[in-house]
Every structure is written in C-alpha cells, then in structure tokens.
Structure 1
Amino acid sequence: MQIYDILPDLSKIKALPGSNRSLLLSSGRPVLVIFWSVSCSSCSNFLKQLAEVPEIKSKRVVPILIHIYLDREQVSLSEIKNKLNQLHFDAVSLDDIDDRLAAVFQFRYVPALYLFDKQERLRFKQSGKSSTNLIEQRLKRLLNEK
C-alpha cells in the first residue's frame, strides 16, 4: 500500500467478539488501521500506549485493530478477546484469519500502522516497533487540515 492509496473495504472482514463496529459509521474522521498479533509483545505495549493518545481516546479518530496470525500460529478467538479486554482499546476489531488484508497492505512487521485522512487516503504508514509521539503529531496535523 502506497501513500494516497484509498482505504480498502473492510466490511467483509470478520469482526471479533465485542468489536465496536458502530465506529465505522462515523465518516469524516481519520482512520487508524493497526495490524497486531496476540503473540507479539511489542504490539501489546504499543496498543496500550495508543489507547491513551488523546485524539484516539476522544474518538476524533476511528481506530481499527486487525489481528493477524504470525507463522500460522494457532490462536483461539477467546485468546484474542482476552487480550483485547486487557488492552482496554475501544476500536473496531477485525480478524484477518485468511491473510486477505495482510496481502493488500503488504507490511513486513507487526505492529503495522496505517493512518488514513478524512477522505480515506493513506497519509502515513509504519511497521515494527515505534513511538506514539510521531503518530500523535500526524494525527494533530490531519485533524487540523481543512
């Protein structure tokens, strides 16, 4: 996925139990897509930090968490749900069990993050261990765009 590409249709991807799909109905806000895995410890830490970012916490951004399976790991839905409950992250939570979205987004490492503007065009992406400071700056800039 390249900068200015359009957000793919996520409506056909399986939602995880407890997912807040109602967030998808709120158009006109930036969308933050995050790929993560239960078995990725840096993903858990990163998601905990992201959950505290003011722009995400205040629902000015639509967060979409997409669980992927690393190395064909066997993870149950209850394990994923338990991890999401521990993270306290109010988001749309999807399960990419067939790697359809992983193929579209073409990332190499998790966590992988994609920030789309209000018109659903990709404006920023990063994968691997990262800092929330840069993401906060990007979010503020996107939210202040006309």
Structure 2
Amino acid sequence: MKLHQQMPELTGAKAWINGVVTKEQLIGDKPVLIHFWSVSCGMCKEAMPEVNGLRNKYKDQLNVAAVHMPRSEDDLDLEKIKETAAEHDISQPIYVDSNHTLTEAFENQYVPAYYVFDKTGQLRHFQAGGDGMTMLEKRVSRVLSEMEHASE
C-alpha cells in the first residue's frame, strides 16, 4: 500500500478471534493501527508486548486490530493461532487471513508489519520488522495529535 491510500475492507477472513470488526467500525472516530503477525514469527512475538503497550496506552484514542498472516501450512491451525494469541495477550480483534485475502489487499509481504491509518481511513505510516517500535509510537502519537488539533 502507498501512503494516503484508503484502508481496504476487512472482508474474506477465514475466521475472527476476539470479535469481528469492519472497516466502518474502525475508522471515523479514531485512528487505527493494524498489525500483521504470524504464529511462526519469533520477531512478531518479541514485539507483541510493545504493540499491546500501545493498544493499552491509547485505548481510548486508537483502534487496534491484528491480522494473522500464515507463512506456512503449520500456520493455518486455528487452535494454534488462538493459543498463541492468548499466550501473547493479543486481545484485540484478529482477522485470520488463511487465504491471504487481506494480505494481498494491503500488498503486504512482511510479518511483523504495522499500518497506521488516520480517522478517515488514509494510510499515514507503514513499517515492517521488529525494530523501530519507538518510531511506530511516534507515528501513532503524531496522528493522534493531528486529530486533537483538527477538533479544536
């Protein structure tokens, strides 16, 4: 995805864990962080406490959703995905993308990967890899502060 493109519709999931959300429910009032992860991705698991920290710190100002992107046949086991999500405190809605529907819509090739959208659904930041969580938080903060200034 290129910057300023609209968030794709969240359709075509094999399953949802922790509740279902639609694009319409995510955008409008708050910016959105969508993160891609996989049960076989060690870097994803290492970064999850920081992702959850952002989710908790900005819980009233930011919507967060996860996308499970399988990297191999082993990553398709729904019970294993649920188990790993619980182990790593992924309590936000998880779109299980077994057919790579959303992965393709986002043109995403990486896990972990992070997409920050403003409240209108425009992509404002993309980042891949386990490093740079400080940069991710700065980008989230910037989008949140722009929103506050716009409502003044």
TM-score relative to the length of structure 1: 0.87
Aligned twin of 1:64: 65
Q: Distance in 2 between matches of 1:15 and 1:130?
A: 29
Unaligned runs of 5+ in 2: none
Unaligned runs of 5+ in 1: none
Render the CA deviation track for 1:80-120: whole Å, top value 9, x for unaligned. 11111112233121111111111121223210111100111
SS in 1 for 2:99: coil
Structure 1 residues 24 and 45, CA, compared in 2 at 3 Å: closer, same or farther? Answer: farther
Aligned twin of 1:141: 142
Structure 1 residues 93 and 139, CA, compared in 2 at 3 Å: closer, same or farther? Answer: same
SS in 2 for 1:29: coil
Q: Distance in 1 between matches of 2:29 and 2:64?
A: 13
Q: Distance in 2 between matches of 1:120 and 1:23?
A: 8
Q: Tell me if 1:19 matches 2:19.
A: yes
Structure 1 residues 23 and 107, CA, compared in 2 at 3 Å: closer, same or farther? Answer: closer
Contact 1:29 1:61 (8 Å CA) reproduced: yes
Q: Distance in 1 between matches of 2:52 and 2:24?
A: 17
Aligned twin of 1:86: 87
TM-score relative to the length of structure 2: 0.84
Aligned twin of 2:9: 9
Render the CA deviation track for 1:48-97: whole Å, top value 9, x for unaligned. 21101266552421111000110343531111111111122331211111
SS in 2 for 1:65: strand
Which amino acid in 1 is paired with 2:30? R
State, as a whole percentage, how many aligned pairs show the same letter. 27
Aligned twin of 2:103: 102
Number of residue pairs matched by the alignment: 146
Q: 1:42: Cα distance to partner?
A: 0.5
